[in-house]
């Protein structure tokens, strides 16, 4: 041991060179250079290191001088691509803390921030690996209502469960809503061959199919009306259709959102008639997640519109109507695990709200 020989790596440099010698694909001479620098840092002299690595003493001294002048660039040789951007553990911890509080939108933004803050360059793939190592995933934020009244949602759920638990045989419960699928191709994720270039034909129209429907979670019966426009008239038609479908029910509880046509003045006399068996209940504002029929719309799109092209609006409309008239009643036991009244309270408290 040559204790009089002075050479020292910083902790960050030592970590870097240790990673180089452990790399399976690193060139042999690059590994020797890294080994030599680590041994110098351990306190060995050029003579001792030359013997250990089967090199000459002058080669070790040349590497030492070049490292003093070039730093990590010493490893840059023809045929070898040095490890891209490197951050110390402390820098990675600081980066993780910053990005957790200030999410960035793209890999390029991450690379730019690292370059400006730490002076390190990462390739796109290197930045992706770094982000994964730090515990980040690339995904969309969940949309939340700007006004989320947790207390109102909790009250709705309590009242609904109370109603359901005490529901007599001559009463029923349905959930109503309107859906307006637009005649548009809807690209969706799927498994494709790696070298393929999947594409979906687009449509040029903007026509919509307007449906006002009601779903019974007990037997998955779905009744609806179709019109050019959803309004108080279609609401009355739908509610009348529901009453006709359940002649033995003394009361039919229908849960709906706060759309204007559900509160329309022209609808009130009909609802207030003594023979009326339909009773409307309204969801809390900005709480579509409390209406199971919203989940049915999602199932419909998954089976009918995602990654499908229809040459004209008529075929598009026929496919949707066929889903509700044929596919849904035949396969309702498959869908019932997705379309449920397993409600949850949406609150801003358990989410990280972001704003770019």
Query: What does the pLDDT look like over 111-154, one tens digit per residue?
Result: 889 988 988 888 888 889 999 999 998 887 766 666 678 889 99
Is 274 within 8 Å of 240 (Cβ atoms)? no
Q: What is the pLDDT of residues 269-327, one digit of tens each?
A: 999 999 999 999 999 988 888 999 999 999 999 999 999 999 999 999 999 999 999 99
Alpha carbons 26 and 45: distance in angstroms, whole number: 25
Enter the DSSP assignment of 171.
E
How far apart CA 314 and CA 179 sit, in angstroms, is: 17
Assess whether pLDDT exceeds 60 at residue 232: yes
For the entire predicted model, the pTM comes to: 0.63
How far is residue 191 from each of residues 27, 152, 198, measured CA to CA in Å? 38, 41, 10
In terms of phi and psi (left: phi > 0; alpha: psi -120 to 50; beta: otherwise), the region of 119 is left
Q: Please determine, for residue 106, whether its predicted confidence score (pLDDT) is greater than 90.
A: no
- pLDDT: is 81 or 194 the higher one? 194
Q: What is the pLDDT of residue 150?
A: 86
Give the C-alpha separation, 258 to 263, whole Å: 7
Q: Is residue 241 scored above 90 in pLDDT?
A: yes
Is residue 239 within 8 Å of 223, Cβ to Cβ? no
Mean pLDDT across the chain: 87
Contacts of residue 309, Cβ cutoff 8 Å, sequence gap at least 6: 185, 200, 201, 202, 203
Where are the chain's structural domains? 11-75, 89-133, 150-193+200-350
Tell me which architecture the domain covering 150-193+200-350 has in CATH: 2-Layer Sandwich (3.30)
Helix or strand run (H / E) with residue 177? strand 171-179
* CA pair distance 321, 300, nearest whole angstrom: 10
Reply yes or no on whether the pLDDT at 80 is more than 50: no
Q: pLDDT by residue (tens digit) across 9-53?
A: 888 888 888 887 877 666 777 888 888 999 998 989 999 998 888
The Cβ-side half-sphere exposure at 46, using a 13 Å CA radius, reads 11
């Amino acid at each position: 041991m040559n204790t009089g020989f002075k050479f020292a790596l910083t902790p960050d440099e030592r970590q870097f060179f240790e990673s180089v010698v452990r790399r399976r694909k690193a060139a042999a001479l690059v590994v020797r250079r890294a080994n030599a620098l680590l041994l110098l840092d351990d306190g060995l002299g050029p003579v001792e290191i030359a013997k250990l690595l089967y090199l000459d003493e002058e080669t070790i001294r040349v590497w030492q001088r070049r490292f003093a002048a070039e730093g990590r660039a010493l490893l840059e040789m023809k045929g070898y691509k040095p490890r891209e951007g490197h951050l110390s553990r402390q820098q990675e911890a600081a980066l993780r803390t910053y990005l957790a509080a200030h999410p960035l939108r793209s890999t390029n933004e991450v690379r730019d921030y690292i370059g400006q803050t730490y002076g390190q360059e990462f390739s796109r793939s290197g930045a992706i690996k770094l982000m994964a190592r730090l515990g980040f995933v690339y995904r969309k934020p969940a949309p939340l209502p700007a006004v989320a009244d947790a207390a109102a949602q909790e009250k709705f759920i309590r009242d609904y469960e109370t109603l359901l638990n005490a529901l007599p045989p001559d009463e029923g419960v349905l959930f109503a809503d309107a859906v307006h699928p637009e005649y548009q191709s809807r690209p969706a994720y799927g498994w494709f061959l790696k070298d393929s270039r999947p594409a979906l034909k687009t449509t040029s129209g903007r026509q919509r199919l307007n449906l006002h429907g009601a779903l019974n979670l007990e037997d998955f019966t779905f009744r609806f009306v179709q019109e050019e426009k959803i309004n108080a008239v279609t609401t009355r038609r739908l509610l009348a259709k529901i009453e006709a479908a359940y002649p033995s029910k003394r009361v039919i509880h229908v849960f709906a959102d706060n759309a204007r046509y559900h509160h329309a003045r022209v609808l009130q006399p009909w609802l207030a008639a003594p023979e009326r068996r339909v009773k409307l209940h309204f969801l809390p504002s900005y709480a579509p997640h409390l209406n199971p029929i919203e989940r049915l719309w999602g199932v419909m799109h998954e089976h009918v519109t995602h990654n499908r092209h229809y040459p004209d609006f008529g075929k598009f409309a026929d496919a949707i109507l066929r889903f509700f008239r044929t596919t849904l009643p035949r396969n309702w036991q498959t869908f019932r695990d997705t379309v449920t009244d397993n409600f949850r309270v949406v609150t801003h408290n358990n989410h990280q709200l972001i704003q770019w």
